[in-house]
Structure 1
Amino acid sequence: MAHGSREFVLFGYSEHLDRRALLFVDPIPPALICNACGIVPRLTFSLLCGHVLCEPCYHSSATTSECVCPLDGEVSGTEDVISRNYPSEILLRRKVHCWNEVNGCSVVLPASQVTEHVRNDCQYHVTRCPKCSAVVLSRDVCTHLKSQCAELVLHAAPEGRVRADSNDRTHLLVFEEKLEQRVRGLDAKLAQLSLETTSQSDRLVELCHNDSNLKEALAEQFRIVSGQTLDRLAKNEAEIKALVTYQQRLEQRVVELDAKLGQLSTGSSTHGDTLVEVSRKIDHLEEELTKFGTSSDRNVADLKAFYLEQRESFMTALTSLSTSPPSNPKVRQRVLTEYSALKRKALEDGSSVSWSEKVYLLRYLLSWGIEFRKEGDSVWLYLCIQLHEGKEDDFLEWPFKKDLWHTFIHPDTRHTRALFGVPGSYVEDWKSFERPIGGSNKAVRFCKDSLDSRVIEMDGFNENDQLLVRLEVC
């Protein structure tokens, strides 16, 4: 089954729904889908290579010490594989279409209620007419027969075919109808993907154009330096030999800098390292000039002054590259310290929060935190998020609708406990997920999922008064 569609087979959530296809209204997060067989299992296993497997696919690929990914062959140690149990109540709250949608039923309801609806309430079950083999609604078959097979036909019987197994024909027609609908949906998805790809391509072309302009500017500056250096060499024959030696060194640096500029056009992953290297080469030129001449060497001093005047323009041009878009990670990990102090403050004041620094996740600039909240005689942990204005906001989807998967990782066993944040189900302050303008949005606490601190302590997650935590945006 294609992961881009909205029809998925569940496994491990309900005995009434397991191994049956459901057509969801909204897409399922990719982190919940087995990359091998395409089902949506309750228990998933995340490998180091980034692929997700269901329990049967994982056990068929794993030994006692390692797991070989069936998709790319990369090896993950069993201690590095992260298992997750997605709460069934969250998944089964997602909206799905009735199984009889193809027959005309327009009911949309939570997945947990579709079986009861189809069994007791749905009026769009079909059968095949015993006379003409046409597909009609079960409730209309008698009226259809009385009309001499002229009325209330959903699908006419194909000409020249002998009536055989009516159930098989019904299923075939229903399948063809659903297949056609899926194809139409796929076409729409492909059109949307084409638009997004075009936008990204335009952005890459713009970046390459900026890099090309910078390269030309630097080359022009170096050409000016070279020309004026030659003019000054002609004015003093006594220094020609020394200045020619310097000129050769300068040309070598130009070649090295040109090579570094070539690296800038290969992609943004090494962009920052290349900027540092170019800056280092320019500083090295200045050191050579300092060693070469003295204050009494008039021509060399003039050349040094000219170079220092040009250096400011070089650095300005290099700095312009630092505005390139940030990298595009989807996972961040940090160590939460002073666990006991945060819990004690919550017991005294009712609440305390540990916030991360501002980070980019899927190009959204955000901070994420863990709130310690007193409830009764215990302290419960909640996931919090705050959106900030970022450099790539013009190219992102708003409001923010990404699912958040916050994981507590045991420092020794690598076992996990998870908190989930679903912006689509958060109705208390929806403005907090709109695009931030001129600063930061109001911080949000996801109150529908929490974890008792007693469970954290009982299982040993707070070793050395610290918590190892990870946030993943799906």
Structure 2
Amino acid sequence: MSSEKYIVGFSRELDFRPIEFLDLIPTRSCCLCNVVPKVTFILGCSHSLCELCYQNVLSGDRRCPLDEVDVDEDDTSKLSFKLKYLERQNVRCFNSKNGCDVVGTLEQVQLHFLDECTYHAVTCNRCKGSVLRRNIARHCATSCRKESVGESADESPPCGSVRGFEKTSCELITSVQEKLSSVETQINIHVEKIERILSSVLENQERIAADVGNTGNKVNEQARGQAEIGESLRCVAEVLGHVEVRTKNYSVGSGCTGDSVATNIEGVSENVQQVAETMIGMQQQTSAILNISKEIQEKLSPLLLRTGETTQFIYGDAATNERMPITRSTSETAGRLNVMYSALPSHHTEAFFHVRDFAKFKEGEAEEEWLYPIRVSRDIVLCGYSMKVEVIVDDKGYYGNERVASLYFKLCRSSTDSQLQWPFTIPFTCRFVHPTDSTKDILCNTVRPSGIMRMDSRCRKYSRPTSAANPKVLCKPTAVVTKLEKEGFISQDSLCVGIKLHQEMPF
């Protein structure tokens, strides 16, 4: 959003010159005097002040002049603004009020203003009106017909209406851009989810295809083995049949009527019958196995067809994918996932956040908007309330000679806030989690919001969020980084922190 500010301490030529920034971050300027200093102080209520205004507040009643929230030096963070970041800011030409619409970086606009801009205004000696320098000769030649910068017929409509319209337009455009950015972020999140789902589907497809191939091979091998066994049994039956016939012929031909021959014939007949029954049973088992294999192939065919469509969808172009049924199915599934996500159970009371690449994080430079390195969790939903946990490592020397890791808690705005009880009164505890021994966990003091609200009814940290997030809460005590490393809290270059909500207890 465009805003007119005054930079201080950066340039002798530009200091205290009104400059209209297009997209300056609000915390870079003082909320009271509108200057953009080298250092701003971020109060616990999220308002930013320059050093002069901050010192005046501390020497006065120590309340924020904008919302009368108490100013606590422990909750105040210091934000530095380097010259290289200022030079990247987009600003309007200093003659924008005279009609110039040039936009560029601070250095580009300064060069344009000095060498190229044709919208410099001067004062007419006769009518004392403000006229563009390039039009002053024609203005004087036409008897000073009030052809000032704001009233020139061939330049622009009245300046006030144009600037008002332009300001409104910029605000609307900025609002739309913020909404588009939010939508783009949500789309990227869903795309990542879909990519993970599709990757899992592909892995399952490969696994299923391998299992189907192995199962089919095993079934075919077993069927071939059963067929070979059946053929062998038929040969055995034929041989035994011949033996039986020959035995009978031998008995008849030789006239033997002894019990031994009869017994042998009877035994052979029983063996033949048993072999025949075994063969029939094995043939039935083979048929059953073949039927089961057929059913498996029938059930797997649609799945293989779907996975084939999925593969075509992943590697196909956008025009082709739009005509595929899987596109509609994926969109419907994504919609259902969104509905399911908002309906997840809200009775959970504990969550964890892993700070990965901890070695790089603790030694890294501070983010552009923060004084120290910071990691922020995604939205955590406990008992229906949306919240975030922040881990900050302060600069060496801030607390003695050791780096210190601090945990912060803050409530976030969500779509279910209207269904919850406010202010937030559930006690909570943050802690540094030991990966193998829970008895070594470093517990912060339990925070009881209800007690804090009784002592300070104007505290906004636990009220229903009206912006993206409430002011954050420091959970004490903090932990020395070297202690965390020596006692084994860092596992696989990752630090785990947790937050737990407790049943409401009397303060």
Is the structural similarity TM-score above 0.5? no
Please tell me whether Structure 1 or Structure 2 has the larger radius of gyration of its CA atoms: 2
Q: TM-score range by the shorter chain?
A: 0.3 to 0.5
Quick check: which one's strand share is greater? 1
